[in-house]
Structure 1
Amino acid sequence: MAIKLFSIGLFDEKDELTSINMKIFPDHTPLIHVDIEGFELSTLKLEIRWDYENDSELMDLIYITRYLQDKGAPHIGLTMPYIPNARYDRINNDDEVFTLKYFAEVINSLHFDYVDVLDAHSNVSLALIDRVRQIDVAPLIQKAIDDFKPDVLFMPDEGAHKRYSKMFTLPSTFGIKTRDWRTGEIKDYFLAEQNLVEDRRVLIIDDICSRGGTFYYSSKLLRDNGATSTGLYVTHCEENIANGNLLNKEKSGIEQIYTANPLWHRDMTTSVYSPLDEIKVID
């Protein structure tokens, strides 16, 4: 279930308040039941948690929030670890739709008391969303560091290096790349400090992974410059990672992948092996 409802206690403890039952009509519109019988919403502080899996959930969020407001809930916060459209934080051509801006306007229209997010892709998201608060990502990255035991940290670009390097005492460096904005193709890529990674275990750190081309090239770059092994931490990881080369250790050279927020169905259970099982999820 991607959307859950919690009550917030006196000391900010969170308890799941009630079940949200969601079904789909034959025309693909939602049928939503929120069982609030016996709860006096006007006396409660509520929090909606949205673990994003797909865009259709935005409509569910709107319906559930407005329902609670109509029922008299005066205080509703939102925890939204992943900000949809966060990577589309600028436009470079007149035919591009600034989806992040319009998404933020929808979230703002719901008038949440606060919006908690985890590892926003850029400050643009933080500027566009009202009453936004950042959840500290450092303890999650530290768990990956404790497990992988790197000698050096690597960030794929200078912006990521500025965000993450100051969180830790380990030495760190970053990659410098040129990319075709329309195609996403990486044209050139090199290390800022070439001698730092030689004969070292290196953990790559960034906020999000889709197919993973950037990290594939990062791992190759590091190994070409003498790194003995590479690992990868990404806060948000799309299921599309399975369609790239990252999970093929022989091709990518990446020994272990960590994520804090997998962007695929968390309640799916299967006895069939999936390559996504190779990714360590950090709680």
Structure 2
Amino acid sequence: MANVQEPKLISGNANRPLAQAVARRMSMHRGITVGLVDARVERFNDMEIFVEVFENVRGEDMFIIQSTSNPANDNLMELLIMSDALRRSSAARITAVIPYFGYARQDRRTKARTPITAKLVANMIAEAGIERVLTMDLHAAQIQGFFDLPVDNLYASPIFALDILHHFQKMDDVMVVSPDVGGVARARELAQRIKAPLSIVDKRREKAGEVAEMTVIGDVAGKRCIIVDDICDTAGTLCKAAEVLVENGATEVHSYITHGVLSGPAVERITKSVMKSLVITDSIEASAATKAAPNIRIVPTAPMFAQAILNIWNGTSVSSLFETNTLEPIYEGFYTAA
């Protein structure tokens, strides 16, 4: 087998700006140019996906950077086909770097005769020849158990903690809010990192997509509230939660959401909402409308993913990136903790 000198990155069409940013960060760490492997990922006239890799990858440690975001089916198929192309080209190991893991919300059977699509996707990824998965803020932690291969699940909360400490400065009136009971563990983790109290918005749905009633558990009067969640899709629940918090006496409402799906009327709703700011990561490539929105801000994940890829390649700890203190030097130049 060839002597592997450097990890090699390849990207599909889902989020090329993030892939290029990861390559730039790795170049800084390694002191040499780390670029994306020259390849084409195209469509035939009937929209079938075709992949051709123009560089030799025999015996190489390959990392495919590809979120399975909208259009989820196309981006998932690109990932699988790229993996097959690399496997048939004798790559030594293939790691899928999936910043946003699509279909994660279908992780269990909520009623009769429904699929567990997250498990199906896990099976497809394994069958395509992928040997390891690197992702961030899975919608449900148990999805790691759907894979019969190593899965490293990074967390956005250390990045969010750095961002909050940098932008909020005075922390004595800050309160972290979970938008539902199911997200309490995620919100509690961030609250512990920034040493803030925790509140919960309890929501009840009459049917899917519609929130019938919201109740605030905890005293938010006079507080600057930070709503924490992993996914913001149409933003209906998020905007309503912000309104309820203001009605209960919150002075400001900010939101920190890992994956900004922001489909349909989401950006318009957020722009017109009472939220002072929405902070998302670049795990999903932002649309022009998202970038132009005055109260939406995007924080980078490339420094974290670049370091995680290097740690996997070197065989060192990935869990070290769960700590804010570890990320602080990686994000030097982005944030200075107060």
Aligned to 2:58: 41
Q: Is the 8 A contact 2:40 2:51 kept in 1?
A: yes
Aligned to 1:108: 126
Give, in whole Å, the separation in 1 of the partners of 2:74 and 2:203: 34
> Can you list the C-alpha shifts for 1:89-138, whole angstroms capped at 9, x where unaligned?
22222232322221111112234332111011112322213311111322
Amino acid of the residue matched to residue 54 of structure 2?
D
153-162 or 204-213, larger mean C-alpha shift? 153-162
Q: Is the 8 A contact 2:51 2:85 kept in 1?
A: no
Give, in whole Å, the separation in 2 of the partners of 1:40 and 1:263: 27
> Can you list the C-alpha shifts for 1:192-239, whole angstroms capped at 9, x where unaligned?
21x2x1111111110000011221121011101100111111100113
| Count of aligned pairs | 266
Q: Is the 8 A contact 2:100 2:283 kept in 1?
A: no
Give the Å deviation of 1:143.
4.0
- Structure 1: state its 5+ residue gaps: none
Once the two structures are superposed, the pairs formed by residues 122-141 of structure 1 within 5 Å of their partners are: 122-129=140-147, 130-141=149-160
Give, in whole Å, the separation in 2 of the partners of 1:239 and 1:223: 23
Amino acid of the residue matched to residue 280 of structure 1?
R
Distance 1:258 1:67, change over 3 A: same
Q: Is the 8 A contact 2:58 2:89 kept in 1?
A: yes
Distance 1:108 1:97, change over 3 A: same
Q: Is the 8 A contact 2:235 2:270 kept in 1?
A: no
Amino acid of the residue matched to residue 276 of structure 2?
E
* Aligned counterpart for 1:191 among listed residues 179, 200, 216: 216
Give, in whole Å, the separation in 2 of the partners of 1:259 and 1:183: 24
Distance 1:40 1:98, change over 3 A: closer
TM-score, normalization by structure 1: 0.84
Q: Is the 8 A contact 2:67 2:283 kept in 1?
A: no
Give, in whole Å, the separation in 2 of the partners of 1:280 and 1:244: 12
**Residue 206 (1) aligns with residue 223 (2):** no
Q: Is the 8 A contact 2:233 2:260 kept in 1?
A: yes
Higher strand share: 1
Higher helix share: 2
Give, in whole Å, the separation in 2 of the partners of 1:160 and 1:183: 18
Aligned to 2:297: 280
Give, in whole Å, the separation in 2 of the partners of 1:203 and 1:86: 24
Amino acid of the residue matched to residue 174 of structure 1?
I
* Aligned counterpart for 2:281 among listed residues 227, 241, 260: 260
**Residue 84 (1) aligns with residue 84 (2):** no
Distance 1:277 1:207, change over 3 A: same
Give the Å deviation of 1:188.
2.2
Give, in whole Å, the separation in 2 of the partners of 1:40 and 1:177: 50
Aligned partner of residue 102 in structure 1, secondary structure: helix
Distance 1:111 1:27, change over 3 A: closer
**Residue 2 (1) aligns with residue 14 (2):** yes
Percent identical residues = 21
Amino acid of the residue matched to residue 201 of structure 2?
G
Aligned partner of residue 166 in structure 1, secondary structure: helix
Aligned to 2:197: 171
Distance 1:111 1:70, change over 3 A: closer
**Pairwise CA RMSD:** 2.6
Q: Is the 8 A contact 2:228 2:257 kept in 1?
A: yes
Aligned to 1:236: 259
Give, in whole Å, the separation in 1 of the partners of 2:160 and 2:264: 19
**Residue 65 (1) aligns with residue 77 (2):** no
71-80 or 103-112, larger mean C-alpha shift? 103-112
